[in-house]
Amino acid sequence: MKRFALISLMVISLGLAFAVTCYDIQYTETPGADGTYPSPYTGQSPTVTGIVSAVGYGTSATYPDPKFFITDPSGGPWSGLYIYRFGTGVAVGDLVNCTGPITEYYGFTELGGTGTTVQIVSNGNQVPAPALIATSVLSNPGVPANAEMWESAFCKIQNVTATSSPDSHQEFYVTDGSGPGQVDDANYQYGHTFSGITVGTYWDEIRGIVDYSFNLYGINPRNDQDMITTGNQDYVVLPDAKLIGNYPNPFVGTTEIAFNLKSVQPVQIQIFNLKGQKVRTLLNSKMSAQLHNVTFDRKDDNGNLLPTGMYFYKLTAGNTVQSRKLVIR
């Protein structure tokens, strides 16, 4: 019996030795003709080993058996892969060997199709900690590879505020001050609806799997527990006014300065140089209770373009005075 167990262990170990990783499948610096980054394994049928990080992607009452994602044990960029295979019975934490063709579904890399097999090697393995990314990574980035590296990976965004309510597809946008990023519910069963989310809703952290669909990247929470807040989700837990930040930063032509208000009140935004001299009053008006974005076109009060360098912008609203730095390139 001991000899049989040893032989079995050797067979499994040998199989793992010949398996490739999610990193091997995903990593590329070569863009395709459509601007996406296809896997170098496209058209091949490798065996990929990984830990199940999420189940339930794209399920419905008609197709209840979940498709799933796997991750390399180390996590990080290029670490995730979507497995398009129904009815495998896998659960989060399972170590699996997946064998099947690699395809690009409109730029989204997946393993699946005719002949795909899934072998559960062990259960209860630790899913690596989610990688911290900026919301701007999800906003149709100028360098697609900056987002491509997080495709199918387990990630998190932190200190985010909703800039829109969920639409009919349950997609909405949030920002951490770096730029808008999409949140979607593709890991929930079809027909799910988010509740209580309005412009200004705040989360300490949202965890999920990053996917690519309709030319946009988005983070997909696996369940309600992936949307974390230590207090009331609504922005009323924040100060009466909150300066969120500006995006892009640094910038060349224009940048958007975002701030949130809990109540209607006068707001002033001013730009200062490093000498502390005011160069522009960007906003001086009564504003409504919601999230706002104001465009700064790098001009001073006289309409002249400001030179490159570092500046500060200050928000004054009621008893709130906050400032941040911005850089003109």
Helices (H), 19-121: 22-26
CATH number, domain containing residue 173: 2.40.50.200
Q: Are 199 and 165 in contact (CB under 8 A)?
A: yes
136 and 179 fall within a common domain: yes
Q: Is residue 195 part of a domain?
A: yes
Q: Is residue 40 part of a domain?
A: yes
202 and 271 fall within a common domain: no
CA–CA distance from 296 to each of 241, 271, 291 (Å)?
19, 9, 16
Helices (H), the chain: 2-18, 22-26, 145-148
Residue 5, class by beta-carbon neighbours within 10 Å (0-12 exposed, 13-18 middle, 19+ buried)? Answer: exposed
Query: Looking at 77, 98, 122, which one is the last position of a domain?
Result: 122
Name residues whose C-beta falls within 8 Å of residue 30's C-beta, 6 or more positions apart in sequence. 37, 38, 40
215 and 113 fall within a common domain: no
204 and 242 fall within a common domain: no
Domains in the chain: how many in total? 3
71 is in which domain, residue-wise? 2-122
83 and 37 fall within a common domain: yes
Residue 153 is classified by DSSP as -
179 and 214 fall within a common domain: yes
pLDDT for residue 142: 53
Q: Are 129 and 100 in contact (CB under 8 A)?
A: no
CA–CA distance from 157 to each of 203, 230, 231 (Å)?
9, 15, 17
Place of tokens 């699996």: 96
CATH number, domain containing residue 285: 2.60.40.1930
204 and 140 fall within a common domain: yes
CATH number, domain containing residue 93: 2.40.50.140
Q: Is residue 88 part of a domain?
A: yes
For the record, the structure tokens of 283 come out as 């906003």
pLDDT for residue 140: 58
pLDDT for residue 145: 64
99 and 14 fall within a common domain: yes
317 and 246 fall within a common domain: yes
Query: Looking at 60, 87, 122, which one is the last position of a domain?
Result: 122
pLDDT for residue 14: 41
- Chunked into runs of 10 residues, the chain (329 residues) has average pLDDT values of 40 51 93 84 96 91 84 95 92 97 94 93 96 83 72 94 90 85 92 90 94 90 93 46 84 89 89 92 90 91 95 90 90
Q: Is residue 304 part of a domain?
A: yes
For the record, the structure tokens of 262 come out as 């809990």
The type of residue at 123 is N
Q: Is residue 7 part of a domain?
A: yes
91 and 68 fall within a common domain: yes
Instruction: Give the rounded distance of the alpha carbon of 201 from its chain centre.
Output: 17
117 and 21 fall within a common domain: yes
83 and 177 fall within a common domain: no
pLDDT for residue 239: 54
Does pTM top 0.75 for this prediction? Answer: no
pLDDT for residue 237: 38
DSSP lists the bridge partners of residue 305 as 299
Query: Looking at 99, 122, 145, which one is the last position of a domain?
Result: 122
Q: Is residue 233 part of a domain?
A: no
